[in-house]
Amino acid sequence: MSIAELTIADTAPSDGMDAVRAWVDDIAALTRPDEIVWCDGSLGEADRLTKQLVAEGKLIRLNPEWRPNSFLARTDPGDVARVEDRTFICSEDEADAGPTNNWREPAAMRAELRDVFAGSMRGRTMYVVPFSMGPVGGPISQVGIQLTDSAYVAVSLGMMTRVTETVLDLIAAGQEWVPTVHSVGFPLVDADGTRHDDVAWPCSTTKYIVQFPETREVWSYGSGYGGNAILAKKCFALRIASVMARDEGWLAEHMLIVKVTSPEGRVFHFAAAFPSACGKTNLAMLQPSIPGWTVETIGDDIAWLRQGPDGRLRAINPEAGFFGVAPGTGETTNRTAVETLWGNTIFTNVALRDDGDVWWEGLTDEPPAHLIDWEGKDWTPGSGRPAAHPNSRFTVSAAQCPSIADDWDAFDGVPIDAILFGGRRATNVPLVAQARDWRHGVFIGATISSERTAAAEGTVGELRRDPFAMLPFCGYNMADHWAHWLEMGERLGEHAPAVFQVNWFRTGDDGRFLWPGFSENARVIEWIARRVEGSAGSVSTPIGQLPVVEELDLDGLDLPEEDVAALFEVDPQSWLAECDLTDEFFARFGTRVPAALRAELASLRYHLRA
């Protein structure tokens, strides 16, 4: 088949390793790499690739006294974050993508991709990276293969997923797999033979991050940044997996997972969906302030949930590593995360200290006197600009996290006792509330929002919706996602986990946070656990069940009574105004909004007026 005749859909797998080899050959014929390397995920391979990247000037080896086997990467200033406006869901029917996704007609997109990928890997090596999301061969796990011309991406995949040749054995035996293709998009050798060896971190002005839901493909061009290039993460584990989950009767969600143990030794597992800047990582690595309780980490970002043989909802963290935001992560905010980064870490776009270690805003209270910033320029505290990029990252294995649970990679997952939803709300939403039932819980998840602050674009106080914290990551129509959750509740029946809403960010009239947050959030986790086991009471309100305040452990906090009252205040008029905003939000999805959620909204209005 000639390049001119190649249709990307023709390369999709169908019959084990013969299909894999044919697919690799076809993509190589299209992209023209100088060499093809099949990765095995070994430590030796990681060592070779990092040494190669250091020699090429794409990684800086950090001082081994401070960060053994750790590296700093600096990307092009134009390639530092996800590019949502260039992220496409190419479903056959535009309505299946929904109003919150960018849609393009699949055949037209395939034609564009053929053009940009043609010759895109000239002068580079194409790495074939077989990976498993979740324990290899597990009942909730899935496998895929990424082709990439970036050694940095190949190394990162080895940290974020389970890269192993065993995946190829599973595919040879007939397991379905997801094909993903990535090119940084700037050929090191032009078609006429002209070389560009001086380009250390290429950044194409043309970018595509494309998901084909029906054929389970991901194609990414023009970016080397993590979320755009490590295709196993958001592209596969959420956008494609959410479609797979819908079709196969499970859930792929933007959720952390924690293991909570009470002083009596009872174990609970919670999953929680929070939009960005709402305390997700801090909860995943919570160090409780109250004695006798422990919280252990299972996952900090993505959860796959499937009903087990016992009828209960079981979950895995499909990833094997953390790809965390560095700024704001420090000794006072998240000591566990800082301790995780002692070594074996790739830092991207943070600042470099004079002693060969790294630094970012929030790591320490006082900045060093001199740094090399994320763009390679001299920096001092008086420079008037951040030393680390606000979206700078760390990539590290989950296994070296001090709070990692012993069952974090359980083969068949962990049973989920409760699901939490949270946003960043200064008003209206109480510290914690329990949904009346599963359907009410889906309504809560579908209407999660945060209020814009002065630091964000838009009107201060305006609600920014992020249903289920999945708005940028759902691979199909969000309203259909809500319907799928309702169907899951019907399947689970009496085994459905309890659902809660939390809000650490309510403020007083003076703008002061009413709740101390951070490690004190364990007091809310305690109440949730006690509700799950049936030992804590509640007060019925129009928005759900609130705690009996006297049963909350507030010892030692010295919270004024008026602050405690304000944390749980439910103002009917404010909530009725919010109902109107929810109506407007639902209107975006037209008739696809499940009738059950419209009924929940009507019920909320009725009880508020009553």
Question: Catalytic site residues?
Answer: 278
Residue with tokens 């507030």: 554
Residue 226 among known ligand-binding residues: yes
CA dihedral 47, 204, 83, 53 (to 10 degrees): 10
Residue 424 among known ligand-binding residues: yes
Instruction: Of 304, 257, 309, 308, give the one whose Cα is nearest residue 285.
Output: 257
Instruction: Of 287, 404, 399, give the one whose Cα is nearest residue 345.
Output: 399
Distance (Å) of CA 265 to CA 261, 296, 385, 408, 492: 6, 13, 49, 18, 26
Residue 520 among known ligand-binding residues: yes
Residue 48 among known ligand-binding residues: no
Residue 392 among known ligand-binding residues: yes
Residue 436 among known ligand-binding residues: no
Residue 207 among known ligand-binding residues: no
Residue 519 among known ligand-binding residues: yes
Q: Phi first, then psi: give them for residue 20, nearest 5 degrees.
A: -60, -50
Per the CB < 8 A criterion, the answer to whether 16 and 171 are in contact is: yes
Q: Which amino acid is at 377?
A: K
Residue 277 among known ligand-binding residues: yes
Whole-angstrom Cα distance, residue 223 to residue 208? 8
For 539, other C-beta atoms within 10 Å of its C-beta total 12
Report helix, strand or coil for 447.
coil
Residue 254 among known ligand-binding residues: yes
Residue 340: in which H helix or E strand, if any?
Answer: helix 335-340
Q: Which amino acid is at 162?
A: R
Residue 93 among known ligand-binding residues: no
Residue 225 among known ligand-binding residues: yes
Residue 420: in which H helix or E strand, if any?
Answer: strand 418-422
Residue 440 among known ligand-binding residues: no
Residue 373 among known ligand-binding residues: no
**179 - beta bridge partners?**
145
**146 - beta bridge partners?**
129, 180
Q: Which amino acid is at 425?
A: R
Residue 281 among known ligand-binding residues: yes
Residue 39 among known ligand-binding residues: no
For 466, other C-beta atoms within 10 Å of its C-beta total 23
Tokens of 413: 């997952």
Residue with tokens 């090429």: 56
DSSP 8-state class, residue 387: S
Residue 51 among known ligand-binding residues: no
Residue 278 among known ligand-binding residues: yes
Residue 282 among known ligand-binding residues: yes
Binding-site residues for substrate, please? Answer: 82, 225-227, 276, 391-393
Binding-site residues, please? Answer: 82, 225-227, 234, 254, 276-282, 301, 391-393, 424, 518-521
Binding-site residues for GTP, please? Answer: 277-282, 393, 424, 518-521
Binding-site residues for Mn(2+), please? Answer: 234, 254, 301
